[in-house]
Amino acid sequence: MDKSQEIVIRHSINEDAPYIFELLNETWDAAYSAFIPKKDLIEYLNNTYNISKLELLFSNKDYECYSVLINSKIVAWLKLFEDVEKKRFYLSSIYVLPDFQKFKIGKKLISLSYERAVTKSYDSIWIGVMVQNLKALDWYKREGFIFTEELPFNMNETSVPHLIGQKILI
């Protein structure tokens, strides 16, 4: 990636859905296939983030979805979730295409997540990360997240341990 290229971050729109689906497919394969069978990844992806489910997410007021574009190509996706009942704000998905990782796109998206949480009057932000996703877990810890809870996360027929973490923002 050429560092002078302009990075555009905007709300996801329906036209983005097929590209986000492909982005998830590629990014999950790189990040998760070492510990989750591909057939479970694909089935979970098809059930959870098919085009119509993505479009529903984009119009759901409890969620905020952002697409990151470089030269009109979607290279990253962010999903934020406000759990109104539990009064918690979650960074619920953050995915950067493998070829575009380590260029601070993740940093821009995590900073946007903090801003959105504070704007909505939350004093902390929550995330969940699979224990075996060591790179992301390490990244969150360096960002100041503290992990206190472990719950199973089911991806189709595979269950993996999943850590829940919180970062205090104000």
Ligand X SMILES: CC(C)(COP(=O)(O)OP(=O)(O)OC[C@H]1O[C@@H](n2cnc3c(N)ncnc32)[C@H](O)[C@@H]1OP(=O)(O)O)[C@@H](O)C(=O)NCCC(=O)NCCS
Q: Which residues contact 137 (CB under 8 A, 6 or more apart)?
A: 129, 130, 131, 147, 163
The region of 59-67, 90-98, 118-126, 160-168 touching ligand X under the rule CB under 6 A is: 90-98
Q: How far is the CB of 83 from ligand X (least distance, A)?
A: 17
Among 104, 120, 146, 168, the residue binding ligand X under the rule CB under 6 A is 104
112 close to 132: Cβ distance less than 8 angstroms: no
For residue 103, state whether it binds ligand X (rule: CB under 6 A). Answer: yes
Residue burial 117-133, b: 16+ Cβ < 10 Å; e: rest: beeeebebbbbbbbeeb
Q: How far is the CB of 155 from ligand X (least distance, A)?
A: 13
For residue 133, state whether it binds ligand X (rule: CB under 6 A). Answer: yes
For residue 39, state whether it binds ligand X (rule: CB under 6 A). Answer: no
The secondary structure element, H or E, covering residue 40 is helix 38-48
6, burial (CB in 10 Å: exposed 0-12, middle 13-18, buried 19+): exposed
Among 84, 107, 111, 150, the residue binding ligand X under the rule CB under 6 A is 107
With respect to ligand X, which residue has the nearer C-beta, 12 or 27? Answer: 27
38 close to 25: Cβ distance less than 8 angstroms: no
The region of 43-51, 64-72, 89-97, 158-166 touching ligand X under the rule CB under 6 A is: 89-97
Q: How far is the CB of 124 from ligand X (least distance, A)?
A: 17
Q: Which residues contact 115 (CB under 8 A, 6 or more apart)?
A: none
67 close to 37: Cβ distance less than 8 angstroms: no
* Total chain residues near ligand X (CB under 6 A): 17
Using CB under 6 A as the criterion, which residues of the chain lie in contact with ligand X when the complex forms?
A: 27, 31, 94-96, 101-107, 129, 133, 135-136, 139
